[in-house]
């Protein structure tokens, strides 16, 4: 349920905004708090509803505290956070979660006393490559050969198409939705997007979609949904109804890298999780979230947990970065 927080002038002009949603579950967030909810429920509390400041279903870093140009930024941000906390109280929500803000916003939020959380994703960074082969040349010989072999095997007898704009027909979306449901049921247990979602998003932003589809003997067998930003291609959902070695890597990762190079994009954000992306040229990047927990007991327990988690995330990121497949002088 949309519950956006606004800061308005005396004349009703919107000066700042924080997009918020009242939720009775924790699906589609990619900052996982299911353990917090279960612990609080066992202790006799009600974790839901909760208030979420985010882009729904989208693990993409971006501004969450939106301030009109010319307005005093910090004062407006403080008002938004105070308003969000008051809104949580009025809605009997256990908490306010601001997920995937920018690092600068995260530091501001935690400076106000919200609990600090970090995580990591894997992004591919364009180091001025002119072609996919140019990118491969930056990798160690062993990794370069492994990727070349994966692509050969994945593409044997398979045709890859990148569809956008008017190419995105209802027949194509029907096929992709079958992939999404089949893979989602096996991987997540219950996919949360319905078929209508894909028609709606295609109708309103088809030119910002790149749907990579794989076809064998005239039939669609797999696909990956990507969205375009000004400088980034964002990988979102993947699915397949036929298992083929390395096809997932080709459709999701290598095609996105090729597209980014061809169109001069600076990065590929391939979504949440996935250390297997490291061997494909994606490097660890820190992501952030900030959390207000109303109950003092739950807040203290989560604060203790997050202190340990941040240390783990930092150590893991350092170890993963050292394992990047690039030659020593070519790391992005």
Which string of DSSP letters, residue by residue, matches 68-102?
-TTS-HHHHHHHHHHHHHHHHHHTT-SEEEEES--
Nearest Cα neighbor of 213 from 238, 184, 236, 193 is: 238
Higher pLDDT, 299 or 323: 299
Structure tokens at 258: 């090729």
Domain 127-265 has CATH 3.40.50.1100: no
Nearest-Å Rg of the Cα atoms of the chain is 22
Structure tokens at 184: 């989602």
Lowest mean pLDDT segment, chosen from 263-267, 312-316, 319-323 = 319-323
Using pLDDT thresholds of 50, 70 and 90, give the confidence band for residue 119: very high
Tell me what the mean pLDDT of segment 48-76 comes to. 96
Q: 106: part of which helix (H) or strand (E)?
A: helix 103-111
Using pLDDT thresholds of 50, 70 and 90, give the confidence band for residue 181: very high
Q: Do domains 5-120+285-330 and 127-265 have the same CATH topology?
A: yes
- Residue 308: predicted pLDDT: 98
- Residue 270: predicted pLDDT: 86
Would you tell me the crossing angle of helices 73-90 and 103-111 to the nearest 10 degrees?
A: 70
Q: 220: part of which helix (H) or strand (E)?
A: strand 219-228
Would you tell me the crossing angle of helices 195-205 and 170-187 to the nearest 10 degrees?
A: 130
- Residue 196: predicted pLDDT: 97
- Residue 190: predicted pLDDT: 73
Count of beta carbons in the 10 Å neighbourhood of residue 55: 14
Lowest mean pLDDT segment, chosen from 96-100, 185-189, 244-248 = 185-189
- Residue 44: predicted pLDDT: 97
Q: What is the pLDDT of residues 253-283, one digit of tens each?
A: 999 999 999 999 999 998 777 778 888 999 9
- Percent of the chain predicted with pLDDT > 70: 97
- Residue 271: predicted pLDDT: 75
Cα separation of 18 and 37, whole Å?
24
Q: Which CATH class is domain 5-120+285-330?
A: alpha beta
pLDDT reading at 163 higher than 90: yes
Q: What does the domain layout of the chain look like in residue ranges? A: 5-120+285-330, 127-265
- Residue 321: predicted pLDDT: 86
Q: 105: part of which helix (H) or strand (E)?
A: helix 103-111
The residue count of the chain comes to: 332
pLDDT reading at 330 higher than 70: no
Q: What does residue 216 show for φ and ψ, rounded to 5 degrees?
A: -130, 130
Cα separation of 252 and 223, whole Å?
8
Tell me what the mean pLDDT of segment 70-78 comes to. 96
DSSP string, 231-288: SEEEEEEEEESS--TTHHHIIIIIHHHHHHHHTT-SEEEEEE--GGGGGGT-EEEEEE
Cα separation of 22 and 52, whole Å?
6
Mean pLDDT, rounded, of the chain: 94
User: CB under 8 Å, gap of 24 or more: what pairs does 214-217 form?
Assistant: 214/158, 214/159, 214/160, 214/240, 214/247, 214/250, 214/251, 215/158, 215/159, 215/160, 215/161, 216/157, 216/158, 216/159, 216/242, 217/157
- Residue 188: predicted pLDDT: 59
pLDDT reading at 315 higher than 80: yes
- Residue 189: predicted pLDDT: 62
Lowest mean pLDDT segment, chosen from 147-156, 182-191, 211-220, 279-288 = 182-191
pLDDT reading at 18 higher than 80: yes
Say if CB 89 and CB 54 are below 8 A apart.
Answer: no
Cα separation of 81 and 303, whole Å?
19
Q: How many Cα neighbours within 13 Å face the side chain of 292?
A: 22
pLDDT reading at 92 higher than 90: yes
11 Cα distance to chain centroid: 37
């Amino acid at each position: 349920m949309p519950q956006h927080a606004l800061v308005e002038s005396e004349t009703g002009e919107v000066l700042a905004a924080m997009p918020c949603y009242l939720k009775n579950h924790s699906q589609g967030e990619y900052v996982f708090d299911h353990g917090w909810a279960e612990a609080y429920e066992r202790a006799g509390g009600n974790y839901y509803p909760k208030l979420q400041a985010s882009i729904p279903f989208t693990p993409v870093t971006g501004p969450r505290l939106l301030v009109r140009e010319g307005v005093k930024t910090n004062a407006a941000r403080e008002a938004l956070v105070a308003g969000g906390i008051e809104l949580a109280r009025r809605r009997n929500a256990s908490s306010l979660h601001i997920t995937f803000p920018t690092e600068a916003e995260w530091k501001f939020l935690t400076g106000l006393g919200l609990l600090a959380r970090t995580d990591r994703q894997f992004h591919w960074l364009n180091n001025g490559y002119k072609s996919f082969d140019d990118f491969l040349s930056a990798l160690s010989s062993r990794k370069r050969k492994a990727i070349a072999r994966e692509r050969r095997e994945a593409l044997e007898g398979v045709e890859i198409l990148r569809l956008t704009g008017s190419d995105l027909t209802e027949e194509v979306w029907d096929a992709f939705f079958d992939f999404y449901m089949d893979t989602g049921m096996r991987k997540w247990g219950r996919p949360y997007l319905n078929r209508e979602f894909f028609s709606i998003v295609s109708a309103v932003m088809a030119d910002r979609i790149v749907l990579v589809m794989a076809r064998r003997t005239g039939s669609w067998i797999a696909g990956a949904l990507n969205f375009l930003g000004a400088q980034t291609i964002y990988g979102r959902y993947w699915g397949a109804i036929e298992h083929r070695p390395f096809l997932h890597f080709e459709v999701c990762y290598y095609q996105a890298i090729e597209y980014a190079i061809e169109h001069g994009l600076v990065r590929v954000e391939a979504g949440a999780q996935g250390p297997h992306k490291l061997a494909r040229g994606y490097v660890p990047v820190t992501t952030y979230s900030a959390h207000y927990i109303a109950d003092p007991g739950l807040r203290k327990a989560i604060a203790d947990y997050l202190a340990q988690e941040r240390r783990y995330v930092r150590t893991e990121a350092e170890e993963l970065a050292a394992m990047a497949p690039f030659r020593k002088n070519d790391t992005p």
